[in-house]
Amino acid sequence: MPELPWEKRARLVREYGVKPENAEVFVADKILGGLFEDTVNEIGGDRPSAALIENYITSDLVGLINPVRSREGSQRAPTSNGVKASSPIGGVTGKSLADLVTMIKAGDLSSRGAKDTLAILYAEGGHPHEIAKKHALIQKNDVEALKKMVAEIISANPTVVVDYKSGKTVLLQFFIGQGMKASKGAGNPAIFKTLFEETLK
């Protein structure tokens, strides 16, 4: 006997911790619901991963889908590589979304990088890692490389360093921002924060 809507809603909340309002979305939209479960199954079904998957589908992916639905109605727009999307989720599959979430959890993608990768994945399909590499979205976690940037930024901003050391610790955000600028948005902000704090002691 097929699973009834209320049963599916309850199961998603119980098994994966899906928010009730998002469980309703997954029940009402079979394609999104199917994508969620396919992705969770690909990644192993743990709750932290399920929460990430839930968020990226109901927030970011839906944000990409809605303008297309509004413009095209029931017809799907061509993707940027000329291949017409066969479903409202474009080039996104359970496997590719699972790979994207794995990259996020590994620290290979920042939140911004993940959103940009998903947008390209939706439009063109493909593999998240290849997309992120091609578009320079892989997050830099190389501590030694980031240390060099930190040293250069500190050397270039002696006045700000003095202000920071005099107690204006809010300037830490300035330094992190300079690090992100120097790395063209690819540096890991958490690593930058730690390095600046240690260097500016």
Number of H helices, E strands in the chain: 12, 0
pLDDT, residue 122, reads 96
Dihedral pair phi/psi, residue 184, rounded to 5°:
55, 40
Dihedral pair phi/psi, residue 114, rounded to 5°:
-65, -40
What three-state secondary structure class fits 109? Answer: coil
Note every long-range contact of 72-80, with CB atoms under 8 Å and residues 24 or more positions apart, other chains counting: 79/123, 79/124, 79/125, 80/123, 80/124
Which domains does the chain possess?
5-134 (no CATH), 143-199 (1.10.10.410)
Task: Provide the strand spans (E) within the chain.
Answer: none
> What distance in Å separates the CA atoms of residue 43 and residue 119, rounded to the nearest whole number?
20
Residues 6 or more apart whose CB falls under 8 angstroms from that of 136 comprise 184, 186
pLDDT tens digits along 97-129: 999 999 999 989 988 899 999 999 999 999 999
- pLDDT confidence bin for 200, thresholds 50/70/90: very high
Tokens representing residue 146 in the block: 């980031």
pLDDT tens digits along 39-79: 999 998 889 999 999 999 999 999 999 886 666 554 444 44
